């Protein structure tokens, strides 16, 4: 492979609270190789090393050095400053209010320009790619360990002024609810996330609380049915919130909890129709028709690779500075 042949390769890394998934794509965005490693937390050094391991496993499979890649995009939970290449406030990763220069750490270890993006924002770009017919205004509602939304308006990702646009998981929805890691009580995340379901419907290690909960509800278990109704109602309210704040023409549900599939989607649709029945404005919006499930694909890593390729194509100031810094 010539250097020019390798020049079109990008890597997307999706860093989650427990796993890191890396995916290499060619110039057309076609996946070439991927790897999954456990995410190490507890120290920045160990955390960076686990992302480096994922990247090196993929490039090793392709017979390359990471420095031979054109660029690497990284999706990471928390408040990300894509220009400074820093992340902070990522509770699952033990990152506090102090900005961690993750892009610089990874660039030093891998010798490649690094572009950081919030993980849900990156996944939103991946989702938008998979719905090419979607309206220019769409939202991705990620229901995993936590809950957050990514927002695309006019075809552009909206990070917001502070980079926290879409962090709706921390809107309090139940004043009597349990305390949230953010410091408040009864956040959406505390009642309807994957972590919340695991608390509300405890299962054996290695089993999916969401799947077992929905199975029990389908079997007629009254407690399971009431939890499903409550969770679906909160998710429907999150969809209404996105409709009434940014008027998304399509809301895509993704994240671990949505692996439940059709039973979850049907339940959210039902809750949306109940709300529409009482509110003519909502009835006009026909929200239940515009809520779909994300495709079964690693949208986070795909989106991170899109971030990398877009930055490279844009030759933004950030990219130029990073190129100079690595001497590339
Ligand atoms: Zn909270």
Confidence of residue 7 (pLDDT cuts 50, 70, 90): low
Phi, psi (deg, nearest 5) at residue 7: -60, -25
Residue 178: CB atoms within 10 A of its CB come to 13
Judge whether 256 and 207 are in contact, CB under 8 Å.
no
Cα(198) to ligand 1 centroid in Å equals: 17
Cα(100) to ligand 1 centroid in Å equals: 22
HSE (CB half, 13 Å, CA atoms) of 99?
Answer: 12
User: pLDDT, tens digit, for every residue of 149-162?
Assistant: 999 999 999 999 98
Residue 94: pLDDT over 50 = yes
3-state DSSP call for residue 143?
strand
Q: How far apart are CA 11 and CA 13, in angstroms?
A: 7
Q: How far apart are CA 162 and CA 79, in angstroms?
A: 8
How would you list the strands of the sheet with 291-293, edge to edge? 156-157, 147-153, 138-143, 250-254, 291-293
Cα(135) to ligand 1 centroid in Å equals: 30
Confidence of residue 6 (pLDDT cuts 50, 70, 90): low
Cα(242) to ligand 1 centroid in Å equals: 18
Cα(187) to ligand 1 centroid in Å equals: 5
- pTM, two decimals, is 0.90
Q: How far apart are CA 233 and CA 139, in angstroms?
A: 18
Judge whether 180 and 168 are in contact, CB under 8 Å.
no
Cα(122) to ligand 1 centroid in Å equals: 22
Cα(170) to ligand 1 centroid in Å equals: 4
Q: How far apart are CA 310 and CA 308, in angstroms?
A: 6
User: pLDDT, tens digit, for every residue of 261-317?
Assistant: 999 999 999 999 999 999 999 999 999 999 999 999 999 999 999 999 887 776 443
């Amino acid at each position: 492979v010539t250097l020019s042949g390798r020049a079109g390769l990008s890597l997307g890394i999706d860093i989650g609270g427990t796993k890191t998934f890396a995916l290499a794509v060619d110039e057309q965005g076609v996946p070439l190789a991927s790897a999954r490693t456990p995410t190490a937390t507890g120290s920045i050094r160990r955390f960076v090393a686990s992302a480096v391991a994922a990247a090196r496993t993929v490039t090793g499979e392709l017979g390359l050095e990471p420095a031979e890649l054109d660029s690497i995009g990284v999706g990471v939970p928390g408040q990300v400053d894509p220009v400074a290449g820093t992340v902070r406030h990522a509770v699952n990763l033990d990152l506090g209010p102090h900005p961690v220069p993750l892009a610089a750490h990874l660039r030093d270890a891998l010798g490649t320009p690094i572009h950081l993006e919030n993980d849900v924002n990156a996944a939103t770009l991946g989702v938008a790619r998979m719905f090419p017919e979607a309206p220019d205004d769409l939202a991705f509602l990620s229901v995993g360990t936590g809950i957050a939304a990514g927002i695309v308006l006019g075809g552009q990702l909206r990070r917001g002024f502070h980079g926290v646009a879409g962090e709706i998981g921390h809107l309090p929805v139940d004043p009597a609810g349990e305390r949230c890691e953010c410091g408040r009580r009864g956040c959406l995340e505390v009642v309807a996330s994957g972590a919340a379901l695991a608390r509300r419907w405890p299962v054996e290690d290695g089993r999916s609380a969401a799947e077992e909960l929905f199975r029990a509800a389908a079997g007629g278990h009254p407690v399971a049915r009431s939890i499903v109704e409550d969770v679906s109602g909160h998710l429907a309210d999150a969809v209404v919130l996105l409709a009434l704040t940014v008027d998304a023409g399509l809301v895509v549900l993704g994240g671990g909890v949505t692996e439940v599939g059709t039973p979850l989607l049907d339940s959210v649709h039902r809750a949306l129709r109940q709300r529409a029945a009482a509110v003519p404005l909502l009835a006009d919006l026909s929200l239940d028709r515009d809520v779909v499930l994300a495709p079964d694909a690693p949208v986070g890593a795909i989106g991170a690779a899109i971030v990398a390729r877009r930055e490279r194509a844009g030759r933004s100031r950030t990219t130029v500075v990073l190129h100079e810094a690595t001497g590339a």
